[in-house]
Amino acid sequence: MTTADTFNAAFAAMPLVAILRGLTPETADAVGDTLVEAGFTLIEVPLNSPRPLESIARLAKRLEGRALVGAGTVLDTASVEAVEQAGGTLIVSPNTNPAVIAAAAARGLIAVPGFQTPSEAFAALEAGARALKLFPAEAASPAVLKAIRTVLPAGTAVLPVGGISPTTMAPWHTAGAAGFGIGSALYSPGVTTEALAERAAAFIAAYRAL
């Protein structure tokens, strides 16, 4: 099974990306286990977290076969290589950088770059993006997403990221969102495993009810 096949299976199972900004390697195992037990299959550790490559390596090994793990805030091609060496397969960025996208695609990794405009969306797809991250979603709207979807190739997965909560997913989903990236409403440094489990369950239940 290729990395693309693994991503497609994980995305089909639950298209919610857990964004673990601020995660430390010391807490990675417990956080990863809690999220996977709740139903998450896609996990992102932003590179501006403490020792992110250590956390990615731990999670990728621990959750192999259960979740796809990678990095967020990937801003250059050197970081793509570093994430790959750590065992990560997701390359998520806040921006549309064709060089980063192409570097990920060339390695068989899953590039999910951020975009705001149709021009950025098409540039990302041309460079090899597997899915698109509408970021920050607070600067757009479901109406904007609906309009952009009319010109994107059929089957293009768009994930709004920023300000997403269990109660705000429905209008985005109606407008054509294929999934979501979820940050501080799910995870923040210091959250207990009990609280994280409750938040994760709420997001999973809300998505399944769409």
What's the distance, CA 26 to chain centroid? Answer: 22
What's the distance, CA 132 to chain centroid? Answer: 10
Q: Is 138 a catalytic residue?
A: no
- Residues 98, 123 contacting (CB under 8 angstroms): yes
Say which residues have a Cβ less than 8 Å from residue 78's Cβ, sequence separation at least 6: none
Select which of 37, 54, 64, 133 is catalytic. 133
In order of 121, 125, 130, 156, the CA distances from 153 in angstroms are 10, 9, 12, 6
Q: Give alpha helix (H) positions in the chain.
A: 3-13, 25-38, 52-62, 77-86, 98-106, 118-127, 142-149, 169-175, 193-208
Q: Is 133 a catalytic residue?
A: yes
- Residues 128, 111 contacting (CB under 8 angstroms): yes
Q: How many CB atoms lie within 10 A of CB 50?
A: 12
Select which of 37, 44, 81, 146 is catalytic. 44
Residues serving a catalytic function are: 44, 133
